[in-house]
A and B are shown apart, each in its own frame.
Chain A
Amino acid sequence: MIQVHNLTHRYGERIALAHVTFTVEKGEVFGLLGPNGGGKSTLFRILSTMMVPTEGSASIAGHDVARDPAAVRRHVGVVFQTQSLDKALTVEENMRAQGHLHGLSGVELRQRMERAMEQLGLADRRKDLVETLSGGLRRRVEIAKALLHRPQVLLMDEASSGLDPAARRDLSRHVERLREEEGVTILLTTHILEEAERCDRLVLLHQGKIVASGTPGALRSRIGGDVVVLDSSDTAALAAGIEMRFGLHPAVTDGQVRVEIENGHRFIAEVVEAFPGAVDSVGLHKPTLEDVFVRETGAGIE
């Protein structure tokens, strides 16, 4: 449904995307995970036809995003990170205006508005001015609006950022329902692990490059065993010590030393014993996508 081939984008000298290639199948929920500045937004802007890439190509539903943006726009619904609603208008007025932009009108538009508002749980808020709605509700209006023209693909940029956990769960429930009921393909960008975990497949983007891709489970299983996280006031010295003493290759990120290891609980006892006073606190967890990211890039996501 979405094909991205060798996509490269430069802003002047700066390379924001470098030779990115991936394919998204119909009906998939596909995630682009990475820190801010990793290239997610650039990719999103290109796929949503906001700008033309400097090299490479991308197509959605068989239409090239650079050569035939009008055709792409007919098949794609876009949910922006920032608000794209008119705050001075009501929910219904925003939706109607959006329908008109897509050439919809009359009975057909009314029916589609009803359905989209019902699906996103907005029916009782239709007469409310957007400026009176909460962040979570506004986001749902954005999605309802993006679905009016029955797009085959929904592009969502950091759709859950700025929402509280409850609103976030609520949003993902709605998104899941859309996939089941409408069979819509969803591509989302995120830096939130919880959200990335719910994707069918992911690519991890760092400094404009894909550093890893696969299902969340497959990505996590790249790391065998456990992840041990050690807080220390001198992380460099501790990491060097661990490397020498245990023959491991710890990663150092923001004041923490991370070690991937089988039977982490035993290692904890040994490491604390070996470097008395050097470890301020210890944590042990099963591998997360963040650990995969750290392993591939040496940097954190958040």
Chain B
Amino acid sequence: MSSFFLPAATLWQRELVRFWRQKSRVLGVVASPLVFWLLIGYGSNDLARFYSGALVLTVMFSAIFSTISIIEDRREGFLLSMLVSPAPRTSMVLGKILGSATLAWIQGLIFLAFAPLAGVSVGIIELIPIAAVIFLISFTLTGLGFVIAWKMESTAGFHAIMNLLLVPMWMVSGSLFPMATAHGWVRAIMWVNPLTYSIALLNHVLELPNAAPGAIESLTVTAAFGLVLLLACGMMAAQKSTRSAA
């Protein structure tokens, strides 16, 4: 058992230590969604409507920054020594994803401090389900980043995917406009977009408007998406190849 959990724990801890030593990263990740939110929110006189979207964007940026490092880390960095160690690949994947997800979560919680501006007051009791939901979303988005990064040869490729897939995915997730008023084909995309359910879930726990689809449905889809991504990561990392892993 220890040969599974010890490597995972050490990788998780490594992410946190690195993060703590580069605190300026927090600013980079939280600042731009915050500015974005304040501009759109005050501009449209509706801070509440864009709050969940901005929080998810914070989490998404953090997840992307953490997983993009996999690409360089594998060619020149700590990931190399992981690849030739006897630690099970699945435990490395778990450690890396949990570590990155924890960082995204912390930054999501920092963003949560601005909730009163959106008219949301978060008490101690409400904090528990909210924090849990933010963690679930962090975990899911980190898994998504990992799946994309694992096979990538260069960070340039990741940036392309980020601009073509991740950011549009966020745009049509209910972060900017509700599903109910969207045009037919956009609405169809929103309906299959897992992120739509993450935003709805967050709106539910924050008791913000535009909380459709329903709470149970949102939770189920988000959790299932996270699980599928976790399995995909594990399978990808365990694969043997005649191409070099690094």
B-contacting residues of A (Cβ < 8 Å)? 9-11, 45, 48-54, 66, 69-71, 73-74, 76, 78, 80, 82-86, 88-89, 93-94, 96-98, 100-103, 105, 145
Q: A50-B84, A51-B242, A66-B240 are in contact. Are A82 and B7 (CB under 8 A)?
A: no
Q: A82-B75, A88-B22, A97-B14 are in contact. Are A103 and B2 (CB under 8 A)?
A: yes
Cα-based distance from A51 to B240 in the complex (angstroms)? 7
With A51-B243, A97-B10 given, can you name 6 additional A-B contacts, CB distance below 8 Å?
A52-B242, A69-B240, A73-B86, A82-B80, A88-B21, A98-B85
Q: Are B86 and A84 in contact (CB under 8 A)?
A: no
Cα-based distance from A82 to B244 in the complex (angstroms)? 14
29 A-B pairs, CB-CB below 8 angstroms?
A11-B243, A45-B244, A50-B83, A50-B246, A51-B240, A69-B240, A70-B86, A71-B86, A73-B86, A80-B81, A82-B76, A84-B77, A84-B79, A86-B18, A88-B18, A88-B22, A89-B17, A93-B14, A94-B78, A97-B11, A97-B14, A100-B6, A100-B7, A100-B9, A101-B82, A101-B87, A102-B86, A103-B2, A105-B6
Main secondary structure, interface of B, reads helix
Selected from B21, B22, B80, the residue in CB contact (under 8 A) with A84 is: B80
A-contacting residues of B (Cβ < 8 Å)? 2-3, 6-7, 9-11, 13-14, 17-18, 21-22, 75-87, 240-246
Residues of B within 8 A of A54 (CB): 242
Q: A45-B244, A51-B244, A52-B242 are in contact. Are A103 and B21 (CB under 8 A)?
A: no
Q: Are A53 and B6 in contact (CB under 8 A)?
A: no
Selected from B17, B240, B244, the residue in CB contact (under 8 A) with A93 is: B17
How many A-B contacts if CB must be within 8 Å? 94
Cα-based distance from A101 to B246 in the complex (angstroms)? 18
Selected from A49, A76, A80, A101, the residue in CB contact (under 8 A) with B10 is: A101
* Nearest 5 pairs of A and B residues by beta carbon: A100-B10, A84-B80, A101-B85, A103-B3, A82-B76
Residues of A within 8 A of B79 (CB): 84
For B84, B243, B245, which residue has the most chain A Cβ atoms within 10 angstroms? B84
Q: Are A89 and B14 in contact (CB under 8 A)?
A: yes
Cα-based distance from A101 to B12 in the complex (angstroms)? 12
The closest CB in chain B to the CB of A48 belongs to: B84
The closest CB in chain A to the CB of B73 belongs to: A86
Cα-based distance from A50 to B241 in the complex (angstroms)? 8
Residues of A within 8 A of B75 (CB): 82
Q: A89-B17, A97-B14, A100-B10 are in contact. Are A78 and B81 (CB under 8 A)?
A: yes
Cα-based distance from A175 to B244 in the complex (angstroms)? 27
The closest CB in chain A to the CB of B75 belongs to: A82
Q: How far is the CB of A125 from chain B (nearest CB, A)?
A: 18
Q: How far is the CB of A82 from chain B (nearest CB, A)?
A: 4
Residues of A within 8 A of B242 (CB): 9-10, 51-54
Cα-based distance from A78 to B246 in the complex (angstroms)? 14
Q: How far is the CB of B6 from chain A (nearest CB, A)?
A: 5
Residues of A within 8 A of B22 (CB): 88
